[in-house]
Every structure is written in structure tokens, then in C-alpha cells.
Amino acid sequence: MVVATADPETENHQKSRVRPSAAQVVSAAECAEFFSRHGISTPSVLFDDLQDTYYFAKNRAGQFVWGNRLLQEQHSLSSVKDIIGKSDHDFFRRDIADRIRADDLQVMEDGAPVKNKLEVLDGNNGALSWLFTTKAPLRDRHGEIVGVEGFSRDAQRSQEAIAPFHVFKSCIEYLQAHLTEDIGIDHLASLSCMSLSTFERKFKQHFSLTPKQYILRMKIHEACRLLPGTQSIARVAVQTGFGGQSYFTKIFRSVVGITPKQYQLSLLASGRAGTVRRSS
């Protein structure tokens, strides 16, 4: 949805279409009971952890019945309670809110989702927000459409979230190409143009693992890929750069929770082992 100025005739038609009737609008208290009243599960708290994506749910009148933490922050609200019962007209200029409402109505009327639609919103401060929005009809326990829900991914926030990892691109690519070798952390630091101490600190900050732990996880991931196609655990230990089977088994068990042999047998039992052969 690209914000533009509509001609008066189109604008008047849109206003008559998007304005909900007085009978449709309900109190904030009723909006708070929306999910229980319609037999719908309350949105997952995991939505509050999204760093670049707004989640929203609205009733047929266009009133918010849920919004994740990022959406609350966008509108300078302290909690989800502050957004429940309000509509886009409480937060955006009328022309912008009318267009959002028209899109919501179309989704509810068609009963079909709209995926990754580009919206360019002109905020009150004059800054443009580039959003990729996906919306779908919200149905009650009987399958009736009772609202709309969706995600809007903020392109700028997505870039900001990814940006800190770009500095590690060269070292990650090197790790993938030389996984079976004895990889020096100091060499990875030089590839990232950092001192060893800075590299180790920033790496753990962004990946929640030390460089050594990350390398071991990558090796175990590769081992999990190789084990279904071979009977020889010792061969996999060599192929993944662990050298001895004993050390490989110890690290594998610490990461996966079971030994390599138990992993192979679990794949056999589930029928996902491919060419794995049983030991005699």
C-alpha cells in the first residue's frame, strides 16, 4: 500500500466503506474478551520477541484486540491493554488509516490472505516506513470470519537486526569451507578485522556461543548429516575433523544428548536412516 493522495470522489467512497457502524464498535472490555468469546487461542507470547515485525489482530470493526510489544512501542504505549479497543484511526492520519481499513475489509470479504504486500507509510514525523505486510482472515471456532490478523515486517528494522552479523560473514564462510581443518580463532579474528579479544567478545555477544563452541556445533551438525549414510562412526569422526572416535563421541553426546551410535539407531527405528546398515 503506497500512500498517495486520492481524488475527492474516490476518497468519499472509501470513507463510506471503511467506517464501521455504531453497532459494530464495541468497548475495550469486550475487545479484551475477543479471543475467549470466539473460542480462539490467545496469540503466542513469542510474538513479543519479534525485533523487526509488528503483529496485530483486529475485530470486524477494525478495533485492535491484540498487538505485540513492537507495535505497542511504535505507538508509544506501555502495554497491550493500551492498544486494545483502539483502531488505526487513533494512530495514523485519516487517509492512511482509511487505506489500511480498506485492505482489512477486502481480506475479510474475500476470505483469502494477502502476502508480502509492500506498504509505504508516511508517519506523523514525516519519515517513511517500508513494510511488507501479510494479512489473513481471523476465524472463530465455527469457521466464521470474525476479524483479521497479520504481520508487518519493517524493512529498516530488518536491516538493523542483520547488520551486526555482516562483520562475521567472511569468518563464517571460511569455517564452512575449512570445517575439517584445525581452525585457529586468531585467524578468524583477522578475517573479521578485529583483535582476538574483541572478536571473541563480539562473537559471543551475537551468537550466544564462543567461537570454539560455534565451531564444534558446526562440526556436529555436519556429523549428523553424514552418520545416516555410513556404518563407520570412526570415519565420520575423521571427516569432521575430530580425529579420534572417543573425543568425537564425547562432544557429540554433549551437544545432541545421545551417542553417535544411538543417533544412528534412532534413525533406523524411525525409518529415516537412508543407507545406514545395522552393525553385526
Q: How confident is the model at residue 19 (pLDDT cuts 50, 70, 90)?
A: low
pLDDT of residue 3: 38
pLDDT, tens digit, for every residue of 96-150?
A: 889 899 999 999 999 999 998 877 776 555 566 788 899 999 999 999 999 999 9
- For the entire predicted model, the pTM comes to 0.59
**Listed residue (252, 250, 276, 253) closest to 265, CA to CA:** 276
Which runs of consecutive H residues, i.e. helices, occur in 169-259? Answer: 169-177, 185-191, 196-207, 211-226, 233-239, 245-256
Helices 94-110, 8-18: crossing angle, 10 deg rounding = 60
**Listed residue (138, 137, 8, 33) closest to 85, CA to CA:** 33
Of 36-45, 94-103, 175-184, which has the strongest mean pLDDT?
36-45
Q: Which residues pair with 134 in a beta bridge?
A: 151
Q: Using CA atoms, how far apart are residues 36 and 68, in angstroms rounded to an integer?
A: 18
pLDDT, tens digit, for every residue of 93-109?
A: 887 889 899 999 999 99
Structural domains in the chain?
Answer: 8-159 (3.30.450.20), 167-270 (1.10.10.60)
pLDDT of residue 180: 85
Identify the H or E element spanning 70. helix 69-74
Q: Is the pLDDT of residue 158 over 80?
A: no
